[in-house]
Structure 1
Amino acid sequence: MENNQTCIRAFADSVQIENCRKEIQVNNQSFSQLSGLLALAGNEVRLKILFLIEKENELCPCDLSDILEMSIPAISQHLRKLKDGNVIKGRREGQTIFYSLKQAHLSLLLPFFKHIIINKKMETV
């Protein structure tokens, strides 16, 4: 038997379809912002960086380089993408830049970080 992926319906709920279209349009900017954040956090290294920055409040590229055992230029590239994506901010102290999460993104990222912590606890049980 061939697996046919077509949709056959007897009746289209035009009110539901129109309401859903309006809902998408009204929230289009939020979808775009969340999609951008998830695309940046979807990279494993950047997710680790975000997790560490949230856990420690702020870190510099040298700290992240030591923790993740990566070169400073590689860490800097990831930090640049996160900064360009408006996810983190920098604070200069002398010649060192300390990065922290922007509060607007913290509420979106915390559930993911909690998931990571919960999984770690479950693995040790």
Structure 2
Amino acid sequence: MKDENSCCRISVDSTLIEDAKACLEKNEGELLIQAKIFSLLGNDVRLKIIRLFLEFERMCVCDLADILAMKQSPISQHLRKLKDGGLLLNKREGMTIFYFINPRQEERLERLIKG
């Protein structure tokens, strides 16, 4: 039985293959960054958190726990991953730690999430 997904090309387009390899090599750094971001945003809670930060600039764990109807501990774990991934920064004000989008990533996240 023949596999319908098998490839039976008649000739190799060497130019296509070399150009495509060069394209991937040229964009390797950006692709790695994007893959990391997609991995972080592949979780619905983290995606919601980033979406909220794009709208409301800064929030603390308590704010997010109330908004998302979740306990603070899992929210804190998600914030840690987003911070470790370079998407968020934080700033302590008294006893409260506020999180916000890393300005270096804001435009990229806006394009990805808001379109």
Same fold (TM over 0.5): yes
For 2:95 and 2:81, the matched residues in 1 are separated by 21
* RMSD, aligned α-carbons: 1.5
Amino acid paired to 2:20: C
Q: Calculate the TM-score normalised by the size of structure 1.
A: 0.85
Q: Calculate the TM-score normalised by the size of structure 2.
A: 0.92
For 1:9 and 1:114, the matched residues in 2 are separated by 40
Aligned 1:31-46 pairs, distance under 5 A:
31-46=31-46
Amino acid paired to 2:45: V
Query: Gaps spanning 5+ residues in structure 2: where?
Result: none
Shift >6 Å, 4+ stretches:
none
Report what 1:110 is aligned to: 110
For 1:6 and 1:54, the matched residues in 2 are separated by 44
Question: How many pairs are equivalent?
Answer: 115
Report what 1:75 is aligned to: 75
Report what 1:26 is aligned to: 26
Structure 1 residues 5-14 or 98-107, which shifts more?
98-107
For 1:112 and 1:28, the matched residues in 2 are separated by 19
Report what 2:97 is aligned to: 97
For 1:113 and 1:14, the matched residues in 2 are separated by 37
Report what 1:14 is aligned to: 14
For 2:64 and 2:55, the matched residues in 1 are separated by 12
Q: Percent identity?
A: 39
Deviation at 1:114, TM superposition (A): 2.6
